[in-house]
Amino acid sequence: MIANRADCPANSAAVHAITANAAKGADKSFDVIVGRTSDCATVCADGQFPDAFHRCSKAGREPQGRKGQAGHQSKEGDVRKITIIGAGHAGLQLGTGLLKAGHAVVIVTNRSADEVRSGRITSSQSMYNMAVGIERDFGMAFWDEHCPPIEGMHIRAGLDADRIMVDFRMRMPPGQSVDQRLKFPRWMEEFERLGGRLRIEDTNLDRLEEIAASSDLTIVAAGKGEIGKLFARDAARCTFDAPQRITALTYLHGVRPREDFGAININVHPGAGEMVHFPALTLSGACDIVNLECVPGGPMDVWSGIDTPARHLEATLDLIHSHFPWDAHRFADARLTDDLGVLAGPVTPTVRRPVGFLPSGQPVLALGDVFLLNDPMTGQGSNNASKCAALYLQAIEARGDLPFDTYWIAQLTERAWDETKWSARLTNTMLAPPAHVLGILAAAAERPGLAQQIAAGFNDPRTMGWYVDPVLANRVIAETTVTEQAA
């Protein structure tokens, strides 16, 4: 057990308060004490020192072990009340799963289903097979019969049509992309049909205090301004502190289909940016989504001052012809799906501390983009949301009637980071590829087995440890070469 400040990584006076409290009969929960102590909150409670945190929490653990967040009594068999801020992918999926598991769930959002449906696009949301499978397990994959499948991947890099340096394609288990203007309203309706409460309101810090005080667990899956500031940037886990790309999304009808299979097409123009495009389903039917990833200050960074859908489309097509001419023929008849099917702006990949503490000391838990915001180049954002929703559901179910205390939150968020850190590393190596990654892509053009491993890694980035490590990458390339030569 930690007994004094010298043994505490945070050098915090909370240690004395915890041990003294335990000696008096432990009438206060550990999170109530530590949640009011900023040093503990920023050093131990975010999981940097899990062993110390465990020893410290044991000192203040309540004998009955039945108090939930903010000291709410949670008796065995009682329904736990869980509130989620944000009706995005992660929030709606988790909320629906929790309802089916028998919890009382409230989702607070500032937009109604009709407002989402009639609004602007917010994402490209390409989802790989593993994440779509999780949606099916949740009973929330409502578009399998209508959404054109993403059945493979095609990666090309070049300077022009005559100077293509990398060109390889591979099949992969089918994924899909459903416009969130379709998906989220349908999920909101399903959530309410199952008995969930959907509250449409703006939420500030004072309102969040009220919500947390009346909930057994509060999860923040969306939030900007003062709520967003509860979750500080985790500098140790962030690779970048500024946007690496200006992202321009365009939803299109009329794109000529591929002749082989529906694919996520990743096109790279070194020094300028990338174009990623794939089939999808939108409000008006099947479409293609184009994501132009433009290096800030480079020749593709043309988006400042473009203020109409028509000019956005014109700029998109011009960049495709000038920087990705090998694919330009497919866009000869392209047109916008709708005037709100365009979006442009910078994205800074960010990892935040996953536990926030309200002024009262109550902890709140981050989920989705509030925790980890990836650049959309590799399409991992919605996939992470689906996987983390499943992870959180499993952890909440396993908790039974024990409290959702700060120690449990820290353990859960460390597991979430272990789940998602590889997607961040995969994306970051594509944004600023080191020499060995360029070597991997070049080798994959000659080795189908290696190309297949890359495709599998986009589906499950946890398998990509070799991709971000030069020594392991060379070993995998060598092993693949020997295997294919032997065959």
User: Per residue in 273-286, pLDDT tens?
Assistant: 999 999 999 999 99
pLDDT tens for 457-474 read 999 999 999 998 999 999
Q: Which whole number is the average pLDDT over 420-444?
A: 89
Residues 407-432 have a mean pLDDT of 90
Whether residue 92 is found in the same domain as residue 198: yes
Residues 309 and 444 in one domain: no
**64 in any annotated domain:** no
Residues 422, 405 share a domain:
yes
Q: Which of 311, 331, 347 is the last residue of a domain?
A: 347
Distances (CA, A) of 349 to 273, 290, 292: 16, 20, 16
pLDDT digits (tens, 9 = 90+) for 347-365: 899 999 999 999 999 999 9
- Is there a domain that residue 124 lies in? no
Entry pTM: 0.84
Does 171 lie in the same domain as 48?
no
Q: Is residue 139 part of a domain?
A: no
Q: Are residues 343 and 269 in the same domain?
A: yes
Question: Which of 304, 329, 347 delimits the end of a domain?
Answer: 347
Q: Are residues 331 and 357 in the same domain?
A: no
pLDDT reported for residue 223:
76
Count up the domains in the chain and report the number.
4
pLDDT at position 162: 87
- Bridge partners (DSSP) of residue 108 are 85, 199
The verdict on 55 and 197 lying in the same domain is no
Judged against a pLDDT cut of 80, whether residue 112 lies above it is answered with yes
> Does residue 132 sit within a domain?
no
Same domain, 97 and 162: no
Q: Which two tokens stand for residue 22?
A: 């335990």
Both 232 and 315 in one domain: the answer is no
Does the residue 34 lie in any domain? Answer: yes
Q: Point out the least confidently predicted range of 25-34, 246-255, 257-266, 463-472.
A: 25-34
233, 371: one domain: yes
The boundaries of the domain holding residue 292 are 144-177+243-347
Instruction: For residue 323, count CB atoms less than 10 angstroms from its CB and return exposed for 0-12, middle for 13-18, buried for 19 or more.
Output: buried
- What is residue 460's predicted lDDT score, i.e. its pLDDT? 94
Residue 256: inside a domain, yes or no? Answer: yes
Mean pLDDT, range 173-198, rounded to an integer: 97
Measure Cα distances from 144 to 128, 137, 139, 384 in Å.
13, 13, 12, 20
CATH code of 148's domain: 3.30.9.40
For residue 182, pLDDT over 60 is answered with yes
Q: What is the pLDDT of residue 147?
A: 97
| Domain assignment present for 314 | yes
Residue 131 has what pLDDT?
A: 95
Q: Are residues 53 and 80 in the same domain?
A: no
Confidence of residue 44 (pLDDT cuts 50, 70, 90): low
Q: Is the pLDDT of residue 40 over 60?
A: no
CATH number for the domain including 205?
A: 3.50.50.60
138, part of any domain: no
Residue 66: is its pLDDT beyond 90?
no
Last residue within a domain, chosen from 347, 374, 404? 347
Question: 185 and 87 in one domain?
Answer: yes
